Amino acid sequence: MQRLEDLLKKAQELKITITKEILNHFEEYKYEREKMIELFVSRGIKDQRVILAMLFVPRHIFVPRNIQHLAYEDKPLPIGFGQTISQPYIIALMTENLELKGEERVLEVGTGSGYHTAILSLLSKEVVTIEFISSLSDSAKEKISLLGLNNVSFVVGDGSCGVEFLAPYDRICVSAASPSVPEPLIHQLKDNGIMLIPIGDEEEQILSKIIKVENGKGYEKQEICPCKFVKLKGKYGFG
Ligand code: SAM
């Protein structure tokens, strides 16, 4: 691990503000977090901003206390209500493909534990995150606030319809499996904006990168890799 002073200098150069509250957790599970990052790099993650954010955000505080020791293993973990915190490598891959430079407004559909929200918060200007289950949203909000992150708005509701009253967005990240690209999300994405979304059936999906075409309603779609997410509920999801 590089020295903390060097990492903080690098963060500043990459326009990532590490709060003192995040720093308070830095020594906890430091070795495990470093191993997790080494795994991402060996699997092809290159974006230095994503790597640095994930080196700092304490994933263990987002999982139930009795499984905190598993937080840095590369797998999804239960967070209650039949939901999961996503596999860290998939979070890294989705975030890298969002191509965040720090000036974007991001919509996250499926707040879950709030872990990915924290990473998006460090890497963009503003995050709007919507979750179906109010208890999960409340718990995520508490943790994001504990980490001193203040550019996140929390909404409870059906994220398959997006969050119209705060649109448009430069980026949209959907963290649940959808049968297709929800129409309202395309409308709420700016021209040339990017959306990451797992598309498929309830058993298996393809992580897809959607790029909205300028001056139109159309979009280009790139397929990134097979994946397995919990299902997106709601009007434009699986119902
Ligand atoms: N990325 C999250 C994290 O870091 O913990 C994990 C997200 S989890 C895989 C998917 C989340 O999407 C669940 O919390 C689920 O309740 C939520 N969800 C499913 N359908 C939704 C919908 N229509 N609107 C909002 N949230 C939804």
Number of domains in the chain: 1
Judge whether 234 lies within some domain: no
Site residues for ligand 1, CB cut-off 6 Å: 83-86, 109-110, 112-113, 115-116, 130-133, 136, 158-160, 175-176, 229-230, 232-234, 237
Judge whether 16 lies within some domain: yes
Instruction: Give the CATH number for residue 68.
Output: 3.40.50.150
**Is residue 14 within 8 Å of 122, Cβ to Cβ?**
no
| C-beta neighbour count of 181 within 10 angstroms | 18
Judge whether 236 lies within some domain: no
Judge whether 235 lies within some domain: no
SS3 180: coil
Q: In terms of residue numbers, what domain contains 38?
A: 4-227
Judge whether 233 lies within some domain: no
139 is catalytic: no
The pLDDT score that the predictor gives to residue 214 is 79
Mean per-residue pLDDT pooled into runs of 10, the chain (239 residues): 90 97 97 96 97 98 97 96 96 98 98 98 98 98 98 98 98 98 96 97 97 84 97 97
- Residue 110 CA to ligand 1 centre (angstroms): 3
